[in-house]
Structure 1
Amino acid sequence: MPPASDSAGLGRARALGFVTPALILIGVFLVFPALWSIYIGLTNYTLTGPASVNPSLVGTANLTGALTDPLFGNSLWLTLLFVLGSAVIGQNLLGFTLAWTLRDARKWLRRITEALVLLSWILPSTVVAYLWIAVLDRDGGTLNLLLGNPATAWLVQYPMSSLVVFNVWRGTAFSMLLYGSALAVVPPSQLETARMVGAGQLSTLRDVVFPHIRGHVLTNTLLISLWTANDFTPFLLTAGGPNHASETLPVFIYQKALGAGQLGYASAISFLLLLVNLVVALVYLRLLRRRT
């Protein structure tokens, strides 16, 4: 019998047999929908009307139309603000701060804090959105009652700021858990040496901690950025309003697809969002390769 060509000793035929079911699932549920969405983006396909039965190819007209659409530009800008404010800055900083603060805390305090932070992450989006609407509502909202200012409609007057705070509160748990695990690999001897030579907190973080967890920072930033850029939860709070003031790209795509019935146009915008995600992932991989 000829020796197997793989380290597990399965042989190519058996190895292919093991991975074939996974490849079929990936093809059916990922590759085919993606290719179909790209095809739809090249047509004038609509939800109702003649174009829903017999759509025609329009080429790149949907893409060029999106790039010149001021509402698309507005949604792209709001998505960038949403990602930078709530993920890259908010969740990163708050997650690391909690992990760094809790590393030497009492066990019971650490467990309670982690449980409370995790609770906001694992609750269903509809439940979390309802809770925050109850907090930020102008009439009888919890925040207005605490501030004694019943005239502020937070989701109407400050929609993007409210969404950023909401997403930081909801998504910090993942960053806290990842950074908690990352800090465990920092040698205690180096931290003790930094303390003995009189290094401050910022110097210790910059010169001792960050070099050990740089890869974790890049991984966390990539994941939370992609999740936030594709998050549909803002629709549950503001529905993109008022007057498109909180209409991020996922919400904009939903409004065009199901609200306006322009499925072809919405698919083209989805393709643009996919390209943005790919660019972000490639930048991350390049940074990680340079670090290696």
Structure 2
Amino acid sequence: MSVRPALPSTDSAGLGRGRALAFVAPALVLIGIFLVFPALWSIYIGLTDYTLTGPSSVNPQLVGTGNITGALSDPLFGNSLWLTLLFVFGSAMIGQNVLGFTLAWSLRGARRWLRRLVEGLVLLAWILPSTVVAYLWVAVLDRDGGTLNALLNTPGTAWLVQYPMASLIVFNLWRGTAFSMLLYSSALNVVPPSQLETARMVGAGRFSTLKDVVFPHIRGHVLTNTLLITLWTANDFTPFLLTSGGPDHRSETLPVFIYQQALGSGALGYASAISFLLLLVNLVIALVYLRLLRRRG
């Protein structure tokens, strides 16, 4: 009769369960206080008719999924969802991806001083505070004394009023491309130079080189970059600083819509329910990309 060896009472580091728990306990407490509890509280509020003022602010009543069904039938919510998808697709999934890779690929063989200069200018747009960047763009797009109207000789064109979503897409493309550029600059280092040289010697065109040599090596980086910039852009509140969701809700993305419902209309329960829907959308997007990354692996 064989005797099973006793299971070790300590972990691989030799700390033991008690000490290991003691090490991670502060982090777990902070996560519980600042992440788990607010998330659960927001979900609970989304199940009530909680308001910023009035009787429901003192004694909110449970409405179950009433806020969610109300949002799904609200044309303003549908409008915000569509504008958010347009904003994400135009400025992040396509815009930042393409421009970031183009800059990284073009600067790969550029002179050192030129590469540093371009990277510094692109990074400057990324690291400046949102309020500063928004103020600069309002000055550029101003109707009466804007820089863009002076350059194009189009006096009186109110870009943020006549073309609000186009302005926001260009703004976010200009501001957020730095991350994609840095990630692709690092990713291109894993492409074997011998394969690029072979493609050049056999006369492969630029498109063929990218399709057959470069992208097979950086496909995982493309998926990772797309996931991150999609989630960041979908939850970006900066558009509020430029247009406040106007005019006539034509630039009211979901984060701005949630803000307007919570603090503008005082419907905190309704806004929390929409926040939960936005969270679900983010989770679905993340799961899709993670599945693609797993298949890639």
- TM bucket, shorter chain: over 0.9
Alignment partner of 1:16 is 2:33: no
- Which residue identity lines up with residue 61 of structure 2 in the other structure? S
Of 12-21 and 110-119, more deviation after overlay is shown by: 12-21
Contact 1:4 1:10 in 2 (8 A): no
| Candidates 158, 165, 168, aligned match of 1:160 | 165
Of 79-88 and 5-14, more deviation after overlay is shown by: 5-14
Alignment partner of 1:117 is 2:122: yes
CA-CA distance at 1:3 after TM superposition: 4.6
What is residue 194 of structure 1 aligned with on the other side?
199
CA-CA distance at 1:209 after TM superposition: 0.7
Aligned counterparts, 1:100-249, within 5 A = 100-249=105-254
What is residue 65 of structure 1 aligned with on the other side?
70
| Distance in 2 separating the partners of 1:91 and 1:52 | 42
CA-CA distance at 1:237 after TM superposition: 0.2
What is residue 91 of structure 2 aligned with on the other side?
86
What is residue 3 of structure 2 aligned with on the other side?
none
Unaligned runs of 5+ residues in structure 1 are none
Of 160-169 and 190-199, more deviation after overlay is shown by: 190-199
| Distance in 2 separating the partners of 1:208 and 1:7 | 42
| Distance in 1 separating the partners of 2:134 and 2:86 | 20
- Which residue identity lines up with residue 204 of structure 2 in the other structure? A
Unaligned runs of 5+ residues in structure 2 are 1-6
Contact 1:92 1:172 in 2 (8 A): yes
- Which residue identity lines up with residue 48 of structure 2 in the other structure? T
- Which residue identity lines up with residue 161 of structure 1 in the other structure? A
- Which residue identity lines up with residue 50 of structure 1 in the other structure? P
Query: What SS class does the counterpart of residue 184 from structure 1 fall into?
Result: helix
| Distance in 2 separating the partners of 1:87 and 1:275 | 20
| Distance in 2 separating the partners of 1:41 and 1:17 | 35
Contact 1:94 1:172 in 2 (8 A): yes
CA-CA distance at 1:19 after TM superposition: 1.3
What is residue 289 of structure 2 aligned with on the other side?
284
Aligned Cα RMSD in Å?
1.2
CA-CA distance at 1:94 after TM superposition: 0.4
TM-score normalised according to structure 2 size: 0.97
CA-CA distance at 1:10 after TM superposition: 2.3
| Distance in 2 separating the partners of 1:246 and 1:178 | 29
| Distance in 1 separating the partners of 2:141 and 2:9 | 64
Tell me the alpha carbon deviations over residues 208-236 of structure 1, each in whole angstroms, 9 at most, x when there is no partner.
11111111100000000000000000000
Alignment partner of 1:251 is 2:293: no
Identical aligned pairs, as a percentage?
84
Of 80-89 and 189-198, more deviation after overlay is shown by: 189-198
